[in-house]
Structure 1
Amino acid sequence: MAGIGFELRKVFNQKGLFSRAKAYGYTGVIYAGPMILGGTLIFGISYLANRVGLNRADSNYLTSMITYAILSSLTVNSFFSYAVTRFASDMLYEEKEAYLLPSFLGSSATMIGLGVLLYGPFLILSGVTIVQLILNLTLFMELIFVWNGVQYLTALKDYKAILLAFLSASLVTFLVGWCLLSFKLPVLTSLLFSVCVGYGLMFLGIVYLLSRYFPLDLGMLDESFLFLKWIDKFFDLALIGFCLHIGIFGHILVVWLGPWGSPVRGLFFASQVYDVPVLLAFLTILVTTINFALATEVHFYPKYKRYYGLFNEKGTLSDIKEAEEEMLTVMMRELIALAWKQLFVTILAISAGNALLDVLPLGINDLMRGYFRILCVGYGIYAIANVILSILLYFTDYKGALIAAASFAIASPLLTFVSQYFNRAFLGFGFLVAAAIFFLIALWRLDRFTKKLMYYTLSAQPMTLVVHHGFFSRLYDYLKGVGSRASQKT
């Protein structure tokens, strides 16, 4: 969130009828744009496939290829995302902006290299054609750039350009797909190619914006992999990101491979009756995602900054206690407000969902409606739990956040696996209970931590400098040595 907060506060505090609406819109673009784009593309491609009469088997195969590329790229990104975000934030704080673009390229290259080694063999064993293999790997790499780039976009302030990049990607996808289909080209390849073009345009837009605000210094390319040291230094962050990803999406994989899943083609599995409700229910947390980013930056962060600033600015004990009480009061007020907003959205989605689901051409049946209602509640609880975990990260309680995230990662697939052997109407309850466990543990940890906040700030720190030089730091040293030798030869 480094960099965006001040600008959001300016927009939010502007006078005028639409100032707050503008602030919510900007926040949505930055934090929820890729999520919205992904859902829009999947529904849009499905619509085009139906319009041209693509048979159901090929349509499911196309959706599976796109879905697997998205989930695979998110899996790789989840391990690196929090550590990379921490690195970018530290560089901005230290006014070392020259490190940002090289680290974006280096982290993206690392994730792509690791991802291709894992995802490539899966595609080959799945029996995809050579064209489908190339397009799917291209989409996977573009998605890595997009997920990683969004973490850096929070430092920018050109909201209109970011919005234009997202909208252009969606529009171009549909136009390219429509044009290719009008020339009677193979439907499956044409639609997959159009998705690659759309995300490719989005990737180019992100790179353009980053290079515009953070010009590339060729002399800094040797430090492209410096972020690897941050993974060793903040390894708990890497585990937190990965555990959250397993918790959010692990239950889907369990259903795919279980009694209610079915093979699509090769190693691709799906569960139409479960996948569609999951995607629709997942979209209901956008309200909390946007409101949390805005509430944190506009209301909570100024109090947070003042509180910790007093420790460095020789604040008196009474000033520090007053600032702590004020900060925690604002935190609880905003947390309760977010919970009420998410509750309202969840109730609205459940009550009005039936009418909306009937309009969408998704083949919704009564069983899917039941899953949708259960998952809406589950994702609503998850959204608030994730907010609490983010607050723990603000207070650098990485241990507590890891305990909460790990419990979620274990409970979500495990309880879903168990729920498959009961009545199939209860399938989504595994994820709902896992989200509730996540929420209770995160809330317990936040309450315990904030009661002793001054102790954790002053007395729980190591007495001596701790140097973290593990596998990733050694990998950085090796890559830097290889780069130095290569530059000397040239």
Structure 2
Amino acid sequence: MAGIGFQLRKILVKDTYSSTLRAYLYAGMISSGPWALSIISVMIIGLLSLGYLIPSQEVGQFLVSVTYLMASSLIFTGGLQLFFTRYTSDRLFENQPQVILPNLLGILLLITLAASVFGFFILALFFGNTSIHYKIVMFSNFIVLCNLWIVIIFLSGMKAYNRILLTMLIGYSLMIAASFILSRWKIYGLLTSLLIGHAVLLFLFLAEILRSHPSQKLIAFDFLKRKKIFLSLIATGFLYNLGIWVDKFIFWFNPATSHEVIGPLRSSLVYDLPIFLAYLSIIPGMAVFLVKIETDFAEWYEKLFKAVRDGGTLSYIEQARDEMTLAVRQGLFSICKIQGVTIILLLLFAPAILDWLTISRYHLPLFYIDVVGVSIQVVFMALLNVFFYLDKRLIALKLCFLFVLLNTGLTILSHILGPTFFGYGFTLSLFICVLVGLYQLSRTLDQLIYHTFMLRKG
């Protein structure tokens, strides 16, 4: 994430309202722009198509198909996203930027092959009663999304933020426009428009990476060398994404809370809309998270470990540790503050928002608890990011494993207790994980200097 850290510090050094706003806009765009714009675009396609271009049943099938594509591609590539982020960061630290591009193309090739095999068998085993056209567009979308999530890793390192924003607008505008042109083919047309939009994003982002990371070598697989593979990061990335989606899967495959939509895919009317609308509320918190972590905290982190490497005095090292600890606390407080304001605003305006979207107010109680849950998730992500900076991979892995267990168990318990408790499994699991994470972070920071000098692994 060093690229955006340098850029944000350069913007913030001007210390004006406009520079601060610009920094937060860039951070929001990088941290949540792709998936937020994707959700918004898909919702626009659904709302505009509903009752005008396509029967409501097929619009529902499209939205559910997109949801499963997002979930499956994120879980499938979650471990590789985290692992390749670490690989790229290490190569930048070693001042070897020329090896990044060929290894990116290498991992994209492996992901394409693995996703093709996985997608083929899933479609063959579970989608036997769907048409060949549906299978083809679902298969193609899955491959493109798996590659896109890896490429998006590099957005934070690019300095051409205006071009990144323009690329996003082009991709998602093209997606929406294509949905009108291809609507005559109903769900196949809508899924093809999704494919076009994400494919354009993928190749435009790849072109930007080619510009910013030139290399004379076409493809490489250095990331597969044993000393460069961090299995704990692969497991952490997989478990984190699984934890995010496991409560949705439980609602989808419980016959009491779901219904069949297309093929084996099911959806939950009572759960899906509130949780996905709630996720749009974390954009402010994500922007604050990225700015605070990548400026104040990252700056003192670099000073601390530079002093350690260069033989700085113990008093300076302790001062840098204290400043870094203060930066973490202030960053977490800022995230809580901005998400708290967001929660209050949504509590006030949620009825009007649901009315505007023609969504029943029956969803309000679940929407409220989901907004709290996704806000806590931003804090959880910030904690994990700090642990990754400090190379406390085992702690991050344990927290994500705990998240999967708690979200699974508490969501099942909420089904036993009844609809009044829906959503509490997701929110309580994150709340408990954040409390455990804060305790672990406090211990880690207190013992940081001892571990740095006395231990080789942590």
Scaled to the shorter chain, the TM-score interval is over 0.9
In structure 2, C-alpha distance between the alignment counterparts of 1:122 and 1:365, rounded to whole Å: 37
In structure 2, C-alpha distance between the alignment counterparts of 1:265 and 1:455, rounded to whole Å: 57
In structure 2, C-alpha distance between the alignment counterparts of 1:309 and 1:316, rounded to whole Å: 11
Return the match for 2:285 from 284, 288, 292: 288
In structure 2, C-alpha distance between the alignment counterparts of 1:135 and 1:23, rounded to whole Å: 38
State whether structure 2 residue 244 is matched by structure 1 residue 242.
no
Match of 1:95 in 2: 95
In structure 2, C-alpha distance between the alignment counterparts of 1:24 and 1:387, rounded to whole Å: 16
State whether structure 2 residue 202 is matched by structure 1 residue 203.
yes
Match of 2:78 in 1: 78
Match of 1:23 in 2: 23
Task: Confirm or deny: 8 A CA contact 1:73 1:140 kept in the other structure.
Answer: yes
SS of 1:3 mapped into structure 2? helix
Give the letter for the 1:245 counterpart: N
In structure 1, C-alpha distance between the alignment counterparts of 2:133 and 2:38, rounded to whole Å: 22
Counterpart mapping for 1:334-353 below 5 A: 334-353=331-350
User: In the TM superposition, what is the alpha-carbon distance from 1:58 to its structure 2 partner?
Assistant: 1.6
In structure 1, C-alpha distance between the alignment counterparts of 2:197 and 2:378, rounded to whole Å: 29
In structure 1, C-alpha distance between the alignment counterparts of 2:290 and 2:193, rounded to whole Å: 32
SS of 1:264 mapped into structure 2? strand
Match of 2:133 in 1: 131
Match of 2:252 in 1: 256
Task: Confirm or deny: 8 A CA contact 1:84 1:230 kept in the other structure.
Answer: no
SS of 1:388 mapped into structure 2? helix
In structure 2, C-alpha distance between the alignment counterparts of 1:313 and 1:86, rounded to whole Å: 23
Percent of aligned pairs with the same amino acid: 27
User: In the TM superposition, what is the alpha-carbon distance from 1:186 to its structure 2 partner?
Assistant: 1.8
SS of 1:263 mapped into structure 2? strand
Q: Per-residue displacement from partner, 1:402-429 (whole Å, max 9, x unpaired)? A: 1111100111122111211222121111
In structure 1, C-alpha distance between the alignment counterparts of 2:86 and 2:181, rounded to whole Å: 42
Match of 1:455 in 2: 450
Give the letter for the 2:300 counterpart: K
- The 1:438/1:356 distance shift into structure 2, 3 A limit, reads same
Task: Confirm or deny: 8 A CA contact 1:240 1:402 kept in the other structure.
Answer: yes
Match of 1:36 in 2: 36
Return the match for 1:370 from 365, 390, 412: 365
Task: Confirm or deny: 8 A CA contact 1:4 1:157 kept in the other structure.
Answer: yes
Task: Confirm or deny: 8 A CA contact 1:87 1:230 kept in the other structure.
Answer: no
Match of 1:425 in 2: 420
SS of 1:315 mapped into structure 2? coil
Task: Confirm or deny: 8 A CA contact 1:382 1:438 kept in the other structure.
Answer: no
Give the letter for the 1:155 counterpart: G
User: In the TM superposition, what is the alpha-carbon distance from 1:230 to its structure 2 partner?
Assistant: 6.7
Task: Confirm or deny: 8 A CA contact 2:87 2:228 kept in the other structure.
Answer: no
State whether structure 2 residue 160 is matched by structure 1 residue 165.
no
SS of 1:260 mapped into structure 2? coil
SS of 1:273 mapped into structure 2? coil
User: In the TM superposition, what is the alpha-carbon distance from 1:165 to its structure 2 partner?
Assistant: 0.7
In structure 2, C-alpha distance between the alignment counterparts of 1:265 and 1:370, rounded to whole Å: 28
Match of 2:408 in 1: 413
Task: Confirm or deny: 8 A CA contact 2:335 2:378 kept in the other structure.
Answer: no
Match of 1:64 in 2: 64
Match of 1:477 in 2: none
TM-score of the superposed pair, with normalisation by structure 1: 0.89
Give the letter for the 2:274 counterpart: P
Structure 1 stretches lacking a partner, 5+ long = 464-490
State whether structure 2 residue 323 is matched by structure 1 residue 321.
no
Return the match for 2:150 from 130, 148, 151: 148
Task: Confirm or deny: 8 A CA contact 1:88 1:152 kept in the other structure.
Answer: no
Give the letter for the 1:270 counterpart: S
Task: Confirm or deny: 8 A CA contact 1:173 1:195 kept in the other structure.
Answer: yes
Counterpart mapping for 1:291-302 below 5 A: 291-302=288-299
SS of 1:128 mapped into structure 2? coil
Give the letter for the 1:138 counterpart: S
More moved, 111-120 vs 245-254: 111-120
In structure 1, C-alpha distance between the alignment counterparts of 2:192 and 2:427, rounded to whole Å: 36
User: In the TM superposition, what is the alpha-carbon distance from 1:215 to its structure 2 partner?
Assistant: 2.3
SS of 2:417 mapped into structure 1? coil
Task: Confirm or deny: 8 A CA contact 1:72 1:119 kept in the other structure.
Answer: no
Give the letter for the 1:247 counterpart: G
- The 1:230/1:376 distance shift into structure 2, 3 A limit, reads farther
Return the match for 1:402 from 397, 405, 426: 397
Aligned residue pairs total: 455
User: In the TM superposition, what is the alpha-carbon distance from 1:216 to its structure 2 partner?
Assistant: 4.0
Task: Confirm or deny: 8 A CA contact 1:254 1:416 kept in the other structure.
Answer: yes
In structure 1, C-alpha distance between the alignment counterparts of 2:215 and 2:82, rounded to whole Å: 23
User: In the TM superposition, what is the alpha-carbon distance from 1:214 to its structure 2 partner?
Assistant: 1.5
SS of 1:396 mapped into structure 2? coil
Give the letter for the 1:147 counterpart: W
Give the letter for the 2:424 counterpart: F
- The 1:448/1:16 distance shift into structure 2, 3 A limit, reads closer
Structure 2 stretches lacking a partner, 5+ long = none
Task: Confirm or deny: 8 A CA contact 1:83 1:231 kept in the other structure.
Answer: no
More moved, 226-235 vs 437-446: 226-235
Match of 1:487 in 2: none
Return the match for 1:444 from 439, 444, 449: 439
Match of 1:215 in 2: 214
User: In the TM superposition, what is the alpha-carbon distance from 1:5 to its structure 2 partner?
Assistant: 0.9
In structure 1, C-alpha distance between the alignment counterparts of 2:133 and 2:98, rounded to whole Å: 38
- The 1:383/1:302 distance shift into structure 2, 3 A limit, reads same
In structure 2, C-alpha distance between the alignment counterparts of 1:112 and 1:22, rounded to whole Å: 36
State whether structure 2 residue 350 is matched by structure 1 residue 391.
no
More moved, 9-18 vs 271-280: 9-18
More moved, 326-335 vs 269-278: 326-335
More moved, 241-250 vs 16-25: 16-25
